[in-house]
Amino acid sequence: MSDISLVAALWWAVIVSGLYHGLNPAMGWPLAVSSALMEKKRTALIYALAALSAGHFMAMMVILLPFSMMTTLVYWEREVRIGAGLILIALGIYLLVVRRHPRILSRVPPSRLALWSFLVAMAHGAGLMLVPIYLGICAPQHQDAGHLASGSLMAGNIGTAFLVGVTHTAAMTLAGGALAAGTYFWLGLKFLSKTWFNLDTVWAVSLIVVGFLGLISTHG
Amino acid sequence: MSIRPDPTFHATAKLAMAAPVENLAFTLMLSPDGSQPDGIAVVDVDPKSKNFGEIVSSLFMPNKGDEFHHFGWNACSSALSPLTGHAFLERRYLIVPGIRSSRIYVIDVKDPMNMKIHRTIEADEILEKTGYSRPHTIHCGPEGIYVSTLGGGGEDGTDGPPGIFIMDCETFDVLGRYEMDRGAQDKHYDFWWNLPRDYMVSSEWGLPPQFENGIVPEDLLSNKYGHSIHFWDLRGRRNIQTIDLGENHQMALEIRPAHDPAKEYGFCGVVVDTTNLEGAIFTWWRDEDGKFHAKKTVTIPPVPADADDLPELLKGFSAVPPLVTDIDLSLDDKYLYVACWGTGEMHQYDVSDPMAPKLAGKVEIGGIVAKHKHPNGKEFGYGPQMVEISRDGKRVYWTNSLYSTWDDQFYPGERGAAMVMADVGENGGLTLNKDFWVEFPDGYRSHQIRLEGGDCSTDSFCYPSV
C-alpha cells in the first residue's frame, strides 16, 4: 500500500470508529432522547448531544495529546507504537475478563452528561482505540524532511491529534445524533430496546484487534 | 449476560402496559410462629389455564423464623438507561429478605416450576458490612440492588439508625451503606425514586422494638412511630429535605411516585391519625425550584363499632380505623389502590389530578368487624393488605396478612392465608373475581405478590411515557 492510501485508510478508520462509538447506545445517544422527552423541547436533544460530544472529545484529547508529544521523539517512535498497541491489547483482555461496569459511572448525575460521556469513553478505552490509528497517521515515513524538525513535528502532531479527535467525535455525534433524532421524531422508544445489542465482547475484541494492527504496523 | 436486553424491560411505563400480560404470580408465604420454614408460591393467574388461581409450584427455605415480608426483582426496566451500565441483566432472581432473621435469599426463578436458592446472605454479613438489620424493600437502580432496612446494629436493632444498603447486581455481594449524609432520617420503611430527575423519597415505620413484638400502644398514642418523609439526592446519596407530615400521622409507609418520570409527584399512605383514627393519603410534589411539598389529599374515616366486637387494642376507641397499610399506583398513573386493612376495604382512587383524588371504585372483603365474605362464600381472614396491579391495569391482586404479631393483635386467632383478584372496569370500578381464590398450605399466611415480567411496585422507568 502506498503511503498516501495508507494514510487515507487510517483516516477512514478514525471515521468508522467514530460511527461505531456513536451507534452504541452504551455511549449515550438514548440519554439525548430522554432529555428531549423530559424537557419537552427538541433543543434539549441538541444540547444533550453536544454535552455527550464534548465529553467524548475531551476523552480523545486526554489520551491522544500525551502520545502526540511522545512521537516528537522520532527515534523511539517504534517503541511508542509497540507500547500503545500492548496497552490496548491489555485493556481489551481486561474488559473481556472483568465484565463489571465501574460503579463510578452510575454515580454521575444525569444532569452532567459531558462528565459521564468523558468517563464512559475513558473506562471503555474509546480514546485508546484511536492511538494506534493516530500514531500510524503521524508515522515519520509519512512526513517530509522539513516536518521532521522537532519543533514543527510537535506542532504538527498536536494539530493532527486535534484533527483526529474532531473528525472522530464528529462521526460519533452524527451516528448517535441520527439514531437519537430518528428515535425521538419517528421510531419511538420501543426502537431502543429492539436495537440494543450487547457489544461488550465485540468492543473488547475490537480493542485487541486494533492493538494488534498497531503492533503489526511497526514492522512496515 | 445476554446479547439482547431482557424482553420484560421497557423504556416507558406505557410500553410496559402494552407488553404481554402476566401468567404467573409469585406470593410470599410465612409461618407466623416460625414453626415451619417460609416459602414462595407460584400462582397460576392465566384465566385460560385449568390451574387458574392454584399454586402450581413452591419453594420452602432451609431455615425457620425468617418472616418473609417484602421482596423484589434483581433487575428491572431501569437497566435500559445507559447511565446504569447494566442493560443486559436478566429479570431472573427474586431478592427475598427475612424481616425477622435479617437473612436474604436470592432465588433463581428462571424456571418458575423449579425455583432454586441461588445464594443466601446471612444477617452477620449484612450487619458487618452495613451496620443494618431487618432488610425490607428491594429496588434495582443505578448502582445495583438497593435494600432498605428497618433496623440498625445491636441486639434489638437500635444501635444506630436503619437505612439503605447496596448489593452488587451480578454477584449479589453486599457492597455497603447507601447514605453519605442522612440528615434527620432515623427510621425507615419504603423508598422509591425518579431516576432521570435524580431524587429518592423514603418513609418511616418504626424501630424493631416498636414492631417486632406487636404494635406498642403507648408509642402509638404518644406519636412515636414514623411520621416524616425524606427526600434524597439519589446519586449524591444525601438527604436534601425532610417533611414532617405531622406527628399525629403515625406510620408513613408506602411511597409511590408517578411511574412517568416527567411527572414530579407521588403518594404516601399514612396508617392512622391518632387524633381521629383516620387513614390518609398524602400527595408530595417537587416545585420548579426543586423544593418538595406534601399535602393530605385523601382521608378515610374510621367506622364506629361495638367495643365487644373489637380486639383488646381497639376496645377503648369504639371504632375500627381503616388502617391504610398498602397503596399501589397503576402504570398509567391513573388509579391509586388503597388497602384499608382494618375496615376490610380496597379503595380505587382516580388520581388523574394527583391533588384531588376521587373515589372511583371499592371492594369490601374481610375486616375486623365487617368480616365481608368473598363472592365464592369463603371467609377472608384479616383485611386487604399487600396489593399488586397487573401491568395493563386491568387486574388487581391482594393478600391479607400484615405482619405476624400485628395480625394477632388486630385479628386474634388464626384466620388463614388468602389471595384474591379483582377486575377493573373500563372506566374504573372494581369487582372481585369469583373464580380466583388461592388455597395456601395450612399454617401459613400470605404476604407480598410479584408478577412475572414485572409489576407496578417494582419497575422504574428512565424515559417519559409519551
The interface predicted TM-score of the complex, written ipTM, equals 0.91
Contact across the interface for A34 and B142, Cβ inside 8 Å = no
The answer to whether position B447 is within a domain reads yes
pLDDT at B34 over 60: yes
Contact across the interface for A37 and B236, Cβ inside 8 Å = no
- Cβ-Cβ contacts under 8 Å, B144 against chain A: 103
What pLDDT, on the 0 to 100 scale, is given for residue A103?
A: 83
The answer to whether position B386 is within a domain reads yes
Query: Under a CB-based contact definition with an 8 Å cutoff, are residues B413 and B403 in contact?
Result: no
What pLDDT, on the 0 to 100 scale, is given for residue A77?
A: 77
| Predicted confidence band of residue B183 (pLDDT cuts 50, 70, 90) | very high
What pLDDT, on the 0 to 100 scale, is given for residue B193?
A: 98
- Cα distance between residue B161 and residue B449, in whole Å: 28
Cell output for B338:
388503597
What pLDDT, on the 0 to 100 scale, is given for residue A199?
A: 87
Contact across the interface for A109 and B84, Cβ inside 8 Å = no
Task: End-to-end CA distance of chain B: give it in Å, rounded.
Answer: 30
Taking the CB of residue B355, how many other CB atoms lie within 10 A of it? 10
Contact across the interface for B464 and A37, Cβ inside 8 Å = yes
* Nearest residue of chain B to residue A102 (CA atoms): B85
**Angle separating helix axes A126-137 and A42-70, nearest 10 degrees:** 50
What does the mean pLDDT of chain B come to?
97
Interface test with A, best of B77, B80, B83 (most A CBs within 10 A): B83
| CA distances, B34 to each of B41, B198, B447 (Å) | 17, 40, 15
pLDDT tens by residue, B395-448: 999 999 999 999 999 999 999 999 999 999 999 999 999 999 999 999 999 999
Among the listed residues B151, B33, B135, the one whose alpha carbon sits nearest the alpha carbon of residue B408 = B33
Q: How many domains does chain A have?
A: 1
B233-270 per-residue burial string, b: 16 or more CB within 10 A, e: under 16: bbbebebbbbbebbeebbbbbbbbbbbbbbbbbbbbbb
DSSP per-residue letters across B236-303: TTEEEEEEE--TTEEEEEEEEE-SSTTS-EEEEEEEEETTT--EEEEEEEE-TTS-EEEEEEEEE--E
pLDDT tens by residue, B337-355: 999 999 999 999 999 999 9
- Cα distance between residue A37 and residue B263, in whole Å: 12
Contact across the interface for A107 and B170, Cβ inside 8 Å = no
Contact across the interface for B11 and A189, Cβ inside 8 Å = yes
- Cα distance between residue B366 and residue B381, in whole Å: 6
Among the listed residues B426, B402, B350, B62, the one whose alpha carbon sits nearest the alpha carbon of residue B205 = B402
Query: Under a CB-based contact definition with an 8 Å cutoff, are residues B41 and B289 in contact?
Result: no
* Nearest residue of chain B to residue A113 (CA atoms): B83
Query: Under a CB-based contact definition with an 8 Å cutoff, are residues B16 and B331 in contact?
Result: yes
What pLDDT, on the 0 to 100 scale, is given for residue A2?
A: 65
What pLDDT, on the 0 to 100 scale, is given for residue A146?
A: 60
The answer to whether position B79 is within a domain reads yes
- Cα distance between residue A215 and residue A85, in whole Å: 5
What pLDDT, on the 0 to 100 scale, is given for residue A220?
A: 55
Exposure on the CB side of residue B172, measured as CA atoms within 13 A:
21
Residue segments in chain A with a per-residue pLDDT below the cut of 50: none
Cell output for B285:
410534589
Interface test with B, best of A24, A35, A106 (most B CBs within 10 A): A106
CATH number of domain containing B181: 2.130.10.10
φ and ψ at B103, to 5 degrees?
Answer: -95, 145
What pLDDT, on the 0 to 100 scale, is given for residue B45?
A: 98
Contact across the interface for B195 and A28, Cβ inside 8 Å = no
- Cα distance between residue B202 and residue B193, in whole Å: 9
% chain B with pLDDT above 90: 98
φ and ψ at B2, to 5 degrees?
Answer: -110, 180
What pLDDT, on the 0 to 100 scale, is given for residue A73?
A: 64
Chain A residues within 8 Å of chain B (Cβ atoms): 25-28, 30-31, 33-34, 37-38, 40, 99-103, 105-111, 116, 120, 189-190, 192-193, 196-198, 200
Among the listed residues B146, B142, B188, B141, the one whose alpha carbon sits nearest the alpha carbon of residue B163 = B188
Separation in Å, CA of A219 to nearest CA in chain B? 37
Residue B73 identity = W
What pLDDT, on the 0 to 100 scale, is given for residue A157?
A: 85
- pTM, two decimal places: 0.96
Contact across the interface for B87 and A200, Cβ inside 8 Å = no
Burial of A50 (C-beta count, 10 Å sphere; 0-12/13-18/19+): middle
What pLDDT, on the 0 to 100 scale, is given for residue B409?
A: 97
Query: Under a CB-based contact definition with an 8 Å cutoff, are residues B229 and B284 in contact?
Result: yes
Of A31, A38, A101, the CB nearest to B261: A38
pLDDT at B86 over 90: no
Place of cell 398524602: B282
User: Which range of residues forms the domain containing residue B82?
Assistant: 13-451
Q: How many domains does chain B have?
A: 1
Contact across the interface for A106 and B83, Cβ inside 8 Å = yes
B463 CB within 8 Å of a chain A CB: yes
pLDDT at B166 over 70: yes
B19 CB within 8 Å of a chain A CB: no
Contact across the interface for A198 and B81, Cβ inside 8 Å = no
pLDDT tens by residue, B297-334: 999 999 999 999 999 999 999 999 999 999 999 999 99
Separation in Å, CA of B14 to nearest CA in chain A? 10
Q: What is the DSSP letter of B372?
A: B
pLDDT at B461 over 70: yes
A156-184 per-residue burial string, b: 16 or more CB within 10 A, e: under 16: bbbebbbebbebbbbbbbbbbbebbbebb
Place of cell 419504603: B190
Taking the CB of residue B312, how many other CB atoms lie within 10 A of it? 10
Among the listed residues B92, B100, B161, the one whose alpha carbon sits nearest the alpha carbon of residue B135 = B100
What pLDDT, on the 0 to 100 scale, is given for residue B1?
A: 65
Separation in Å, CA of A54 to nearest CA in chain B? 17
B143 CB within 8 Å of a chain A CB: yes
Alpha-helical regions (H) of chain A = 3-23, 29-39, 42-70, 77-97, 103-106, 113-123, 126-137, 150-182, 190-195, 200-217
Q: Tell me how many degrees the CA angle A24-A101-A135 measures, rounded to the nearest 5.
A: 60
Interface test with B, best of A189, A199, A200 (most B CBs within 10 A): A189
Separation in Å, CA of A132 to nearest CA in chain B? 27
Instruction: Show the 3-state SS of A58-98.
Output: HHHHHHHHHHHHHCCCHHHHHHHHHHHHHHHHHHHHHHHHC
Query: Under a CB-based contact definition with an 8 Å cutoff, are residues B406 and B447 in contact?
Result: no
User: Which range of residues forms the domain containing residue A154?
Assistant: 3-217
Contacts of B223 (CB under 8 A, 6+ apart): B247, B248, B250, B274
pLDDT at B359 over 60: yes
What pLDDT, on the 0 to 100 scale, is given for residue A6?
A: 83
What pLDDT, on the 0 to 100 scale, is given for residue B25?
A: 98
The answer to whether position B318 is within a domain reads yes
Cell output for A30:
438514548
Q: Tell me how many degrees the CA angle B126-B74-B93 measures, rounded to the nearest 5.
A: 100
Residue A62 identity = V
Separation in Å, CA of B303 to nearest CA in chain A? 44
Among the listed residues B461, B459, B426, B447, the one whose alpha carbon sits nearest the alpha carbon of residue B25 = B447
- Cα distance between residue B290 and residue B36, in whole Å: 49
What pLDDT, on the 0 to 100 scale, is given for residue B340?
A: 98
**3-state SS class at B318:** coil
